[in-house]
């Protein structure tokens, strides 16, 4: 039986080996800017921008948001989500509700997806133009503006040159503004008051775009763990 603790005078060789690998893993995580344990694959994308088009026909937002108004947005997703589309040029990722979130803040309002609403991330790499689009249906608005009917919010990234992506893998999405020719956010909602004109439609350009950690970082961490475990078994 192995000793329950490892002291300078009483340390099983296997304990010393485990401790050595643990220190190596901690150092590797430090270089990646992570803290142990760091095995989650959650990616947080933060964006800022300005609205270029605002259609608030029913004055739902009371004039608080106009063209030129600033917005910030946060997208959270699990980059280990599986691709449901067998076509190697088109990736369709239906992220589980517990692993997805999308929120936009502007003009004193916060628009966020209701938990359990339909969402997807599509990654297109057909060779003639790359694109990434996220879609989140069923929004809540705070402070409330009335009963929300059909509503959705989206992020769209486009690169007509076809150089932004090398595959349709979600882990390969570059969340950097310089990778894309255009990047935008859209928020739409219909107020469920029986009047089809009581809606608002917001469309804007993204001016900053970052992701933490970078997609695929967790995959590298897990690969490192597997390598350490393999080395430990051989010694």
Instruction: pLDDT band for 131, please (50, 70, 90 cuts).
Output: very high
Residues 188 and 72 placed together within one structural domain of the fold: yes
Residue 231's pLDDT band (cuts 50, 70, 90):
low
Over residues 35-91, the pLDDT tens digits come to 333 344 899 999 999 999 999 988 999 999 999 999 999 999 999 999 999 999 999
- Helix pair 13-31, 217-234: axis angle to 10 deg: 160
Note the pLDDT tens digit of each residue in 179-203: 999 999 999 999 998 888 899 999 9
Q: Write down the pLDDT at residue 235.
A: 56
> Same structural domain for residues 82 and 66?
yes
Q: For the chain, what's the residue count?
A: 235
Q: Specify whether 192 is located in the same domain as 224.
A: no
Q: Which domain holds residue 204?
A: 42-214
Same domain, yes or no, for 5 and 71? Answer: no
Residues 112 and 122 in one domain: yes
Statement to judge: residues 143 and 53 lie in one domain: yes
Number of domains in the chain: 2
Instruction: Kindly report the average pLDDT of the chain as a whole number.
Output: 82
């Amino acid at each position: 039986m192995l000793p329950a603790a490892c002291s300078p005078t009483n340390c099983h060789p296997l304990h010393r080996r485990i401790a050595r690998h643990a220190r190596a893993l901690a150092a590797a995580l430090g270089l990646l800017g992570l803290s142990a344990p760091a095995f989650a694959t959650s990616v947080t994308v933060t964006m800022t921008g300005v609205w270029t088009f605002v259609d608030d026909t029913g004055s739902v937002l009371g004039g608080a948001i106009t063209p030129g108004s600033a917005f910030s947005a946060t997208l959270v997703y699990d980059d280990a989500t599986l691709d449901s589309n067998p076509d190697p040029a088109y990736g369709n990722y239906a992220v589980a509700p517990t692993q997805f979130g999308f929120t936009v803040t502007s003009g004193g309002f916060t628009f966020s997806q209701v938990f359990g609403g339909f969402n997807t991330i599509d990654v297109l790499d057909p060779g003639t133009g790359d694109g990434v689009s996220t879609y989140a249906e069923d929004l809540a608005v705070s402070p409330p503006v009335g009963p929300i009917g059909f509503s959705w919010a989206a992020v769209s990234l486009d690169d007509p040159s076809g150089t932004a992506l090398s595959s349709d893998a979600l882990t390969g999405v570059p969340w950097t503004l310089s990778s894309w020719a255009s990047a935008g956010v859209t928020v739409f909602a219909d107020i469920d008051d029986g009047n089809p004109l009581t809606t608002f439609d917001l469309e804007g350009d993204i001016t900053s775009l970052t992701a933490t950690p970078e997609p695929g970082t967790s995959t590298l961490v897990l690969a490192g763990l597997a390598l350490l475990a393999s080395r430990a078994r051989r010694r």
